Amino acid sequence: MRLSVWLILLLLLSCQAKPDTSSNSGSARQDTVTVQSQAQFPFPEIPATLTEPEARKSYLLTHYWEQFDFADTTLVNNRDVTEQGFVNFIALLLDGTTSEELARESLKNWCKGFVGKDHARRVLTQTADDYLFNPNSPFYNEGLYGLYLETMLGVLPQTDAVRSSYQFKLELVRRNNPGDRATDFTYYLPDGTRRTLAATPTKNNRLLLMFYDPECESCHEVLLQMAADTALAEAVRAGKLSVLAVYTEGNDAAWLKALPDMPEGWTVGTDREAVKTGALYDLKAMPSLYLLDGKKTVLLKDAAYEKIRAALAF
């Protein structure tokens, strides 16, 4: 889905014009599917008396979904309308200028619109998961996803069966955020020595924590990338940082077989599935990398290796 930024800006910065119905609709050119679908989304009409951009944006977000018929399954299933409308909605929420108060109000109005419509609820909650909680999404944002989960818990009936699922996800996204002390856990070295994250020695106040599985294809690719990084190897050798790689699955034979391939100087252990079974960290995508300081405070959460590499600047 592409974001029609120009359309949003038009809604925010100019008085919304009435459509010209005098022209022959058959002769109108529609240059792209995106333009066509955006024209179909039932945006609210912003009052002409609102002239300041922020006031117009606030009105747009607050009333964004009011004209959308959540009971219309055909409309809900039209991705060019519904999904693109959602993309534009969250793009505004994530533009860096939207207050948390406005974001909460906008999300509440959206959730209240579909929560009582079974089909719309299935489609839109999945859309929220795909865009806000999928690490491969360009809109991946645990902060906004957490606000969405809080909103859903606020509008769902207390007897709703999925409340526990939302509560579990909310607790997970609230853990191990930058500035938090990383959740402690126990891991075991190949010789059986027991250690904890909290007691793991850290050189130069930096610890690169990696949760991995050698049988995972993406883990294998990232491990190859890290093993080939001569600057990382030199930084470890020179004591500029420590690296702790923790195997999170239950196939000890596969873990032990892959140990010789792990880079020199790393501490490698297995948590015997404690992190996964205890949901101590979010392992929805592997590998999962964290940058910690010497006190095990989170500096970067579940970040791509390139981002961690840039932060270390060695």
pLDDT in tens, 215-230: 999 999 999 999 999 9
Share of the chain above pLDDT 90, in %: 85
Q: What Å distances lie between residue 48 and 62, 88, 275, CA to CA?
A: 16, 22, 55
User: Which two structure tokens, joined as six digits, stand for 119?
Assistant: 């089909």
Note the pLDDT of residue 138.
92
Alpha carbons 288 and 246: distance in angstroms, whole number? 10
Alpha carbons 213 and 228: distance in angstroms, whole number? 18
Residue 209 has pLDDT above 90, yes or no: yes
Nearest Cα to Cα of residue 302 among 279, 280, 286: 286
pLDDT, tens digit (0-9, with 9 covering 90-100), for 240-296: 999 999 999 999 999 999 999 999 999 999 999 999 999 999 998 899 999 999 999
How would you classify the pairing of strands 267-270 and 288-293?
Answer: unpaired
Note the pLDDT of residue 13.
56
Q: Which residue has the higher pLDDT, 148 or 23?
A: 148
Note the pLDDT of residue 9.
55
Average pLDDT in the chain: 89
Note the pLDDT of residue 313.
87
**pTM of the shown model:** 0.79
Strand positions, DSSP E, the chain: 186-188, 194-196, 206-212, 242-247, 267-270, 288-293, 298-300
Note the pLDDT of residue 277.
94
Query: Cα–Cα–Cα angle for 28, 21, 69, nearest 5°?
Result: 95
Share of the chain above pLDDT 70, in %: 88
pLDDT, tens digit (0-9, with 9 covering 90-100), for 79-117: 999 999 999 999 999 999 999 999 999 999 999 999 999
- Residue identified by tokens 């959308």 is 68
How many Cβ atoms sit within 10 Å of the Cβ of residue 300? 18
Residue 1 has pLDDT above 80, yes or no: no
Q: What Å distances lie between residue 55 and 13, 82, 90, CA to CA?
A: 10, 25, 18
- Sorting pLDDT into bands at 50, 70 and 90, what band is 151? very high
User: Which two structure tokens, joined as six digits, stand for 51?
Assistant: 């002239």
- Sorting pLDDT into bands at 50, 70 and 90, what band is 141? very high
Q: Name the burial class of residue 82, with classes exposed (0-12), middle (13-18) and buried (19+) by CB atoms within 10 angstroms of its CB.
A: buried
